[in-house]
Amino acid sequence: VVPGDCSPPRPANPEVQHITNKVKLQFEVRVNWKPDLFNAIIYRTQVVAGIMYYIKVQVADSEYVHLKVLLGLPPNDECPALVSFQTGKTRDDPLICF
C-alpha cells in the first residue's frame, strides 16, 4: 500500500474489533445513542501519521455506520481516536475513505 492510499476492503479481524470496541463510547457520546450491536464487518487502512482505519460496523439488524479511526504512533498516541463517522449506511454501501 502506497502511503496515503487506502487498502482494499478486508474482513474485520479480532484486532479491528478491539479498535472498534475502544471507540464505541466516543461514538455513543457523539450520536447520543447506544446501539444494540457494534460489530466490525470490514475495514480498510490508510497510512498517515499512524494508521487511519475505516471500519464498517453493524449497529442494528439492517443498519450500519462507517467509522474513521486514527491509531497514532506509539509511544505517545496508542489510544484509537474516533475522527469521523457516517451513519445511515446499509450492508451494501461501499466502504470508502472519507
Please give the C-alpha separations between residue 37 and each of 4, 33, 44, 78, in angstroms, as whole numbers.
31, 12, 20, 25
**Is pLDDT at 1 greater than 70 in this prediction?**
no
C-alpha span between 74 and 60 (Å, rounded): 34
Inside any domain, residue 24: yes
Q: Is residue 18 part of a domain?
A: yes
Q: Is the pLDDT of residue 75 over 90?
A: no
Confidence of residue 12 (pLDDT cuts 50, 70, 90): very high
Report the candidate in 96, 84, 98, 92 with the shortest Cα–Cα distance to residue 31: 84
Task: Give the domain range for residue 45.
Answer: 7-89
Across the range 59-73, mean pLDDT stands at 93
CB 89 within 8 A of CB 65: yes
In this structure, is residue 66 part of a structural domain?
yes
Grid cell of 74 as nine digits: 506509539
Under the banding of pLDDT at 50, 70 and 90, the label for residue 84 is very high
Q: What is the pLDDT of residue 77?
A: 62
pLDDT at 2: 57
Who wins on pLDDT, 20 or 72?
20
As a whole number, mean pLDDT of residues 81-94 equals 95
Residue 77 domain-assigned? yes
